[in-house]
């Protein structure tokens, strides 16, 4: 009985060690992309997710490092359980789709490294299992690159983008929404990137006073330029 218990403990320890040292690396390159985004790379370990963009000359143009929670990491490993059964290369000759680049997905586990290459990289050139893996990778990239932020307008006061729009520098055929104005405003005036902008109506009561009280709505967005946006009176979203 003692021998059986010891064997189970050793097996559990071995499995745990393999889980802890599993690293997944996603990399795309080639195709029609800007020089500043020539190579995209995501590295996932049990503790962190590291996202990098590389210039064609090899220099890093963007880097984001965030912790990964244990549940997300464990679920990812479940998704990659049969990774070793995938082919090493998925290609089309001649390629039916051009200028989409190449993808390499690598898993390092228990001292063994396997890489799957997709050339050209698009959905129709991958089995369903690999599609599911890359879809999860996309989600992790977005969560790693972008931070959710929030802006609280004040009653009777124009927001910075509304004041800019009023100058006539940007024009639309119809009345523009805040969301339509915000992206070009922050891109052109502050070189900041915003996505997934939402105007959210408050459910709680607010006071009524110009220049003091918040409006009955607020805005959320996601950005890669967190420090810049914090200086522009945005806050990290709750």
Q: 221 exposed, middle or buried (CB, 10 Å; 0-12, 13-18, 19+)?
A: buried
Domains of the chain (ranges, CATH numbers): 23-145 (3.30.1560), 147-236 (no CATH)
Per-chain mean pLDDT for the chain: 90
Question: How far from each other are the two terminal CA atoms of the chain, in whole angstroms?
Answer: 52
- Cross-strand partners of 102: 29
- Token pair, residue 68, equals 């990964």
Strand partners for 147:
223
Question: What is the model's pLDDT at position 1?
Answer: 52
In the prediction, which pLDDT does 19 show?
54
How large a percentage of the chain has pLDDT more than 90? 78
Question: CB 180: neighbour CB atoms within 10 A?
Answer: 16
Q: 44 exposed, middle or buried (CB, 10 Å; 0-12, 13-18, 19+)? A: buried
How confident is the model over 15-50, as pLDDT tens digits?
A: 444 456 899 999 999 988 899 999 999 999 999 999
Q: Given this model, what pLDDT does residue 135 score?
A: 96
Tell me how far apart the alpha carbons of residues 37 and 62 are, in angstroms, rounded to a whole number.
Answer: 9
Mean pLDDT along residues 120-147: 94
Give the CA distances from residue 209 to residues 49, 144, 158, 212, in Å, rounded to whole numbers and listed in that order.
44, 39, 14, 6
Cα angle 149, 152, 156; round to 5: 155
What the block records as the tokens of 135 is 């879809």
pLDDT at 14 over 70: no
Q: Which has the higher per-residue pLDDT, 2 or 108? A: 108
Whether pLDDT at 11 is above 60? no
Which has the higher per-residue pLDDT, 4 or 111?
A: 111
Reported as a single tens digit per residue, the pLDDT across 47-104 is 999 999 999 999 999 999 999 999 999 999 999 999 999 999 999 876 677 778 999 9
Nearest-angstrom CA–CA distance, 214 and 63: 35
Instruction: List, for residues 188-215, the tens digit of each pLDDT value.
Output: 999 999 999 999 999 999 999 999 999 9
Distant-in-sequence, close-in-space partners of 149: CB < 8 Å, separation ≥ 6: 220, 221, 222, 223, 226, 229, 230, 234, 235, 236, 237
Query: How far is 178 from 197, CA to CA, in rounded Å?
Result: 9
Q: What's the average model confidence in pLDDT over 130-137? A: 97
pTM, two decimal places: 0.74
Q: Say if residues 90 and 105 touch (Cβ distance below 8 Å).
A: no
**pLDDT, average across residues 131-149:** 94
SS3 assignment, position 159: coil
């Amino acid at each position: 009985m003692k021998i059986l218990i010891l064997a189970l403990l050793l097996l559990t320890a071995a499995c745990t060690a393999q889980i802890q040292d599993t690293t997944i690396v996603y990399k795309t390159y080639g195709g029609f992309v800007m020089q500043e985004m020539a190579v995209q790379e995501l590295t996932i370990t049990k503790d962190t997710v590291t996202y990098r963009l590389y210039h064609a000359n090899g220099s890093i143009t963007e880097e984001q490092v965030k912790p990964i929670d244990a549940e997300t990491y464990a679920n990812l490993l479940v998704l990659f359980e049969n990774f070793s059964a995938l082919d090493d290369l998925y290609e089309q000759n001649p390629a039916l789709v051009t200028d989409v680049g190449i993808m390499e997905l690598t898993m390092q586990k228990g001292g063994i490294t396997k890489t799957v290459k997709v050339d050209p990289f698009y959905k129709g050139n991958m089995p369903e299992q690999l599609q599911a893996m890359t879809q999860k990778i996309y989600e992790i990239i977005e969560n790693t690159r972008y931070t959710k932020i929030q802006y609280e307008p004040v009653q009777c006061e124009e927001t910075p983008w509304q004041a800019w729009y009023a100058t006539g520098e940007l024009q639309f055929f119809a009345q523009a929404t805040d969301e339509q104005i915000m992206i070009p405003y922050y891109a052109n005036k502050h070189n900041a990137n915003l996505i997934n902008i939402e105007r959210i109506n408050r459910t709680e009561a607010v006071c009524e006073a110009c220049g003091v009280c918040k409006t009955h709505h607020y805005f959320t967005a996601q950005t890669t330029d967190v420090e810049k946006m914090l200086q522009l009176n945005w806050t990290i979203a709750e």
